[in-house]
Amino acid sequence: MAKAPELINVSNEAALRDAGEEHLWIHASAHRALADEAQGKRILVEGDGCIVKDIEGHEFIDGLSGLWLVNVGHGRKEIADAMARQATTLAYASSISSTSVPAIQLATLLAEITPGDLNTVFFCSGGSEAVESALKIARQYHYLKGEPKRLKVIGRRGSYHGATHAAMSVSGLRAGNEPHGSPFMYGTMHVGPPHCYRCEYNHTYPGCDVYCVHAIEQLIEHENPKSVAAVIAEPISASNGVVVPPQEYLPRLREICDRHGVLLITDEVINGFGRTGKMFASEHWDLVGDIMTMAKGLSSGYAPIGAAICRPHVMEAFEGPNRLSHLLTFGGHAVSCAAALANIEIIQREKLVDNSAIMGARLLKQLEELESHAIVGEVSGLGLLCGVELVKDKETKEKFKGDGEELKFMTQRLQDKGLLTRAGNVISLAPPLCINKEQVDRIVEIVDETLTEAEQEFDLG
């Protein structure tokens, strides 16, 4: 019998890098990304609170909480213990014949802490599956209510809802997904986002009377309301800059959907679990989606889990024998549910939502001062979800080239100075919610220095 290959030891960085280059396909990266220094991929080995350490011993403030998800911070033994307890008691219960205690406990807790009367939880393994599930629920809802032609879904350009086919189709980043994504799901269409700094409609708030939300109603009417199943929107979009909508936008969107019998799917995959200074961003506007999606901060990344939670009027359609034909093996995984329960307990006990609001206000205020930089177009944010929008030219708002030297330089300098995030069109900043004042101030210092160095290096402004 062949001998099992020995695992490469953590002390052997070069061998790990070589093996990773050969065998690991890192998501959203070029093949052999580990070999390409310009891609700046670190091999992380440890984390504690807001700090992560790479294999070479460099320490960083985790400026993006991994990928907008390690809300309670790294190294939480309580979550690991809860997972171990559940795994050694019962790791898995099949949804064909059973469920588990933590799945029931977590669903009940989510019904309690989510906005309004959101009440019934469908579990899955992450954000894309949560969106995929919400879209299927919305379409089947209309079918069961006797409106089978309501199939279309409206999203917003610039939004991101996931990598699976339907989620990618409602995402508003189509051009980049063209080679593998098309043809996109039937009936998915898009309007411009409520991004006043770069208004697609060339309007100016408040004189525009929030035209961008009116555009959604126009599209619903143009398409025939009886053919539209849902509108999907993150309360605060974070994938292409941090887009905090004008105050009226979401309440009006709610009214428009109600007027036309269209379901509103609120995507809180990034926004949820304290990220914006409320438990859910919808609360800033007293908004209640008909279906709300969540993932990421639900377990702070300690275990893969996502969910779509529905209001009673949605669930009415599924009373009796009308089941949702949608089985995900890992949905409601007992260990993931145990991780999420321990995670939410920490968020509540340590008042991390309040800390997000307080530290977020401190971060945003200081970042706004960076608007004096020649290459900062706009700073935006709410809670610990902030973005520094970069421009080559303030007047024309010209963006830097995605693969240009300037952005590479800035990403490298941010990391060299000890801040792990990326400089795209936007420097996204979303550290763990347990961050303290000193760490917030250090983030701003690093960004400030990096901007100055980039301006000098490339003679900008």
Ligand X SMILES: Cc1ncc(COP(=O)(O)O)c(C=O)c1O
* Chain positions contacting ligand X, by CB under 6 A: 126-128, 131, 160-163, 234, 239, 267, 269-270, 295
Do 164 and 180 meet the contact criterion of CB atoms below 8 Å apart?
no
Provide the CA 367 distance to its chain's centre, in angstroms. Answer: 21
Phi first, then psi, for residue 53 (nearest 5°) are: -125, 140
> What is the secondary structure of 64-75 as a DSSP string?
THHHHT-TT-B-
Do 308 and 134 meet the contact criterion of CB atoms below 8 Å apart?
yes
Q: Which residues lie closer than 8 Å to 49 by C-beta, 6 or more apart?
A: 73, 74, 75, 432, 434
Q: Of 41, 40, 45, 47, whose CA–CA distance to 61 is shortest? A: 47
Cα–Cα distances in Å, from 397 out to 374, 375, 391, 409, 449?
11, 9, 5, 20, 22
Q: Which residues lie closer than 8 Å to 329 by C-beta, 6 or more apart?
A: none
CA distance 333 to 190: 34
State the nearest-atom distance from the C-beta of 130 to ligand X, in Å.
7
- Which CB atom, from 256 or from 269, has the smaller least distance to ligand X? 269
What string of H, E and C letters represents the secondary structure of 220-273?
A: HHHHCHHHEEEEEECCCECECECECCCCCHHHHHHHHHHHCCCEEEEECCCCCC
- Which CB atom, from 308 or from 341, has the smaller least distance to ligand X? 308
Q: Which residues lie closer than 8 Å to 317 by C-beta, 6 or more apart?
A: 140, 141, 144, 145
- Which CB atom, from 79 or from 236, has the smaller least distance to ligand X? 236
State the nearest-atom distance from the C-beta of 160 to ligand X, in Å.
5
State the nearest-atom distance from the C-beta of 66 to ligand X, in Å.
11
- Which CB atom, from 224 or from 329, has the smaller least distance to ligand X? 329
State the nearest-atom distance from the C-beta of 127 to ligand X, in Å.
2
- Which CB atom, from 301 or from 444, has the smaller least distance to ligand X? 301
N residues, the chain: 461
- Which CB atom, from 47 or from 272, has the smaller least distance to ligand X? 272
Phi first, then psi, for residue 280 (nearest 5°) are: -130, 140
Which residues on adjacent β-strands are paired with residue 34? Answer: none
- Which CB atom, from 172 or from 406, has the smaller least distance to ligand X? 172
State the nearest-atom distance from the C-beta of 305 to ligand X, in Å.
9
- Which CB atom, from 163 or from 308, has the smaller least distance to ligand X? 163
- Which CB atom, from 160 or from 280, has the smaller least distance to ligand X? 160
Cα–Cα distances in Å, from 153 out to 131, 136, 232, 287?
12, 11, 7, 19
State the nearest-atom distance from the C-beta of 1 to ligand X, in Å.
39
CA distance 237 to 245: 9
State the nearest-atom distance from the C-beta of 88 to ligand X, in Å.
27
Residue number of the CB atom closest to ligand X = 127
State the nearest-atom distance from the C-beta of 125 to ligand X, in Å.
8
- Which CB atom, from 269 or from 317, has the smaller least distance to ligand X? 269
- Which CB atom, from 310 or from 444, has the smaller least distance to ligand X? 310
Burial class (CB in 10 A: 0-12, 13-18, 19+), 459: exposed
**First vs last C-alpha separation in the chain:** 67
State the nearest-atom distance from the C-beta of 164 to ligand X, in Å.
7
CA distance 350 to 356: 11
AA letter at 194? P
83: left (phi over 0), alpha (psi -120 to 50) or beta: alpha
- Which CB atom, from 160 or from 400, has the smaller least distance to ligand X? 160
CA distance 254 to 231: 10
State the nearest-atom distance from the C-beta of 436 to ligand X, in Å.
26
State the nearest-atom distance from the C-beta of 179 to ligand X, in Å.
19
State the nearest-atom distance from the C-beta of 282 to ligand X, in Å.
13
